[in-house]
Chains A and B, each alone.
Chain A
Amino acid sequence: MNYAYAVELKSVVKRYNEILAVDHVDLTINQGEIFGLLGPNGSGKSTTLKMLLGLVRPDSGSISVLGMDVQKDPVALKRLMGYVPESSRLYEFLTGIEYLDFIADVYGIQNAEKKNRINDYLKALQLEGREGDMINSYSEGMKQKIALISAFLHKPKLLILDEPLNALDPRSARIVKDFLHELKTQGVTTILSTHVLEIAQALCDRIGIMYHGKLLALGNMNELRQMSKLPDSGLEDIFLKLTGTGDIRAVVEELVK
């Protein structure tokens, strides 16, 4: 399928009662790009990600994902996407292997392939030996690994990851980061939302910063530095300046009184 952009949002608006969650957002994300969507709590990131998945319907505007209208054939589109939500509630009464088997069946992966892929991921993320235990006995990190594997398992073309490295041990976090880079070379687009700005800075080709439902800034690190007029700064300083939340010192001084 040919498409100019992996993701294209045109003047998208989403309102929850009196709260304007997403306010006329225009955004394009290229194929094979790792895109970071940042913003303070309640800025509209998660709503935007859910709209890309078709989990939330926009009030106005249009969304095209992998060249398809999100609302037109959501089932076909979901086959091409992998998703890890911010707090991924799994079926805790299943074992790790049963959960992944369920996911593989839902995405229609054949038995032989399913076996190989599941075993490879379990080995890579060091879940071997615990895969037969019920998920309710897993630590948060182990649950996150299962959620990540379930997003990668069917080789999606677009990954939407909300805080993907939450609770992961350093080794697994490194594996996931390197893996996302490898996927990028294969043309897989990744959109990730995180509050850990070091991860975003190290991983993302471009970053979008949302604030009060609007896309406040968009670009690579150099472009963001120019925009914020902070030439040698890291993402944290840029983020704080752009979102107007940079008055940290005064707040801390007030707290220590």
Chain B
Amino acid sequence: MNWKNVAYLIRVDRKSGRLIRGKKLTKYRENRFLAYWAYWVALAVGLAIGLAVGVVSNYILAADPSLSALFQQGTVSLFLSLPTLVLIYSLVFTMLQQIQRSGVRFSSQVPYWLPITWQEHTLASILASLLGFPLISIVFISSVIVVFSIFIGQVLAAVMTLLAIYAAAFMASATTEVFRVFQVRFIGAVYKSTGRAAVWVRFIGSLLFFLVFYIGYFYVTSGAGTITFIETVASAQNAVWFVPFVWLGMTLYYLTGEFLLQGIAFLAFSLLFIVGLFFLATSLNSRFGLYEPPAITVSRGAYAPRTGFLGRIGFSTVEAALIRKDFKAFTRRRELMTIFIAPIVIVLVPLMQSMGVTTGPAPPPFAGYLSALTTLMPASIMAMSLGNLIIGEEGQAMWRIYSSPISAGSLVKSKYFFIIFFSVLVLVVTGIFGFVFYHPSLRAILVSSFEAFFLVFALGAISLSNGIRGADFTEAPRPRMIRPSWSMINLIACLLVGIAILIPFFPYMLSAFVPSLLGFFVELYQAVIVSAIIAFALTVIFYRVALKNAKELLAKAEI
């Protein structure tokens, strides 16, 4: 193993981030210290927090020494669960990174023509996958626990935990590497066997995978789910001692409990497992690292052009062609498919959480709100997200739009229709879902459906206008689609527009808490009408802004 090669490859991977950070790339200079600023900040913040927690806990324990034993026990218990927690979080984030990069073949191409072994490449790939958020969070956690341990006299346990969490992160990244290579080969075989249905097999398969992945992701990273999850890991770790992924935690458990023999045994098992994972990843890489999934054949036989449905309902051939092209993009490009997942997860996660905490049907006022939320939120988020990226998703192929006889009007009309179509589709599905699960009143269904329509139209228009202004056609190391500043601007703008449209309903929302307010300001139907007028005005204004932005984009036409 040539360690220098590993270091060079990791450095190249880190530098690929320059392409998406909006750096001025001519006469580029990089400060070596500042290049790692995020890690330095994580370290400094971790040290400061560790210090603060240590001082506070010392103060509390000085005031009430009887808490000391409990405190020590709780801290050690947290230390024991950290390797498994870090492993799970690292696994989630390294896989998320793989998903984001799935559309970019050239950035992840193995430089097989260079004198680099598969072992070196695999090791570099595993370590480079940890760069960014996973490593930043590990640096933060480890600095907190080391400083904190000094105050509570658990330095040895903290140092062992620190080593274990770095090993756990490596284990997670190696697992992702194995999974990545395996799934390329596996998916290739599936495509081959499914023939022309491969496009749909891939679409549905990817949706199901993302669905499970994101539900897990949101569950372990949001609200009460996180605490439940940490508690579960801490308590269940010993029960599943036979699962190799918890062996690092088990090592700590036995070593801190002074069961030296068992500790050493689990340490040996852990190291063997890590080495085994690495060699498995290396062997899969050397076998399938350059494997290209077979071509997907979508159509066979004679080509017969048709006048499609879109043409019959009044779209010009240019507009219909753009809509059809986008439909294919969103059902075939894996990095775009994730957009369909957010609305589903938004519906499912609160439902899962509410099912865990409530017994029996929800009380009537809450049912109405939950149903309204289920109808309004996913469709609105869909309109916002689609508008955000529907121009930037063209990527480097944007030259095709620039050089073709496509007017700003046709571009905006087709993109806007696409946004509205999918957002309304989501609205219908989630609306039915809300109705079935929360049994709201007919009035609540009608009002929330109308409002969702208004929101979709207005948010679609404003997001499209912002998506055009902030479009980012960078594709490597991952498709960015919109500049982060414009994504933030769009989020704030959508929030304000949403509030503006829903403002006539605020008295009714308040009336749930202050019943005397009911009917004080306006009747419900009046609120809907006022809301519709606001939404219509905002839609028209922002559609025109989108047109103006599209004209500028096509005139400037520089990617």
Contact = CB atoms under 8 A, between A and B. Distances in A.
A107 interface: yes
Nearest to B292: A137
B329 A74 contact: no
Contacts of B397: 89-92
B297 A132 contact: yes
Interface of B: 26, 105, 292, 294-301, 303-307, 317-318, 320-322, 324-325, 328-329, 332-333, 395-397, 399-400, 402-407, 554-558
A202 interface: no
A137 B105 CA distance: 12
Contacts of B304: 115
Given A78-B404, A89-B395, A111-B305, A105 B321 contact: yes
A235 to B, nearest CB: 28
A75 B402 CA distance: 10
A106 B406 contact: yes
B296 A133 contact: yes
A30 interface: no
A104 B404 CA distance: 11
A217 B334 CA distance: 49
B557 A55 contact: yes
A201 interface: no
A91 B329 contact: yes
Nearest to A138: B295
Contacts of A76: 405
A149 B248 CA distance: 59
Interface-centre pick from A81, A108, A136 (highest chain B CB count, 10 A): A136
Interface stretch (A94-102, A171-179, A244-252): A94-102
A104 B397 CA distance: 17
Contacts of A93: 328-329, 332-333
Interface of A: 17, 53-57, 71, 74-76, 78-79, 81, 83, 85, 88-95, 97-98, 101-108, 111, 114-115, 118-119, 130-134, 136-137
A55 B403 contact: yes
B172 to A, nearest CB: 30
A55 to B, nearest CB: 4
Given A89-B396, A115-B303, A119-B303, A102 B406 contact: no
Nearest to B317: A105
Contact of B303 (A91, A105, A131): A131
Given A57-B556, A91-B329, A134 B298 contact: yes
Given A89-B399, A90-B397, 7 more contacts: A17-B26, A57-B556, A91-B325, A95-B297, A102-B321, A119-B303, A134-B332
A132 B294 CA distance: 13
B396 A95 contact: no
A103 B297 CA distance: 20
B333 A105 contact: no
B305 A115 contact: yes
Contacts of A74: 554-555
A29 B22 CA distance: 39
B307 to A, nearest CB: 7
A111 B406 contact: no
8 contacts: A54-B555, A74-B554, A89-B396, A90-B397, A93-B333, A105-B320, A106-B405, A111-B305
B305 A114 contact: yes
B405 A137 contact: no
A111 B306 contact: yes
Interface-centre pick from A17, A54, A85, A134 (highest chain B CB count, 10 A): A134
Nearest to A53: B403
A106 B402 contact: no
Nearest to B305: A111
B382 to A, nearest CB: 20
A119 B304 CA distance: 10
A56 B397 CA distance: 16
A102 B325 contact: yes
A215 B557 CA distance: 24
A91 to B, nearest CB: 5
A102 B320 CA distance: 9
Given A108-B317, A118-B303, A79 B405 contact: yes
Nearest to B296: A134
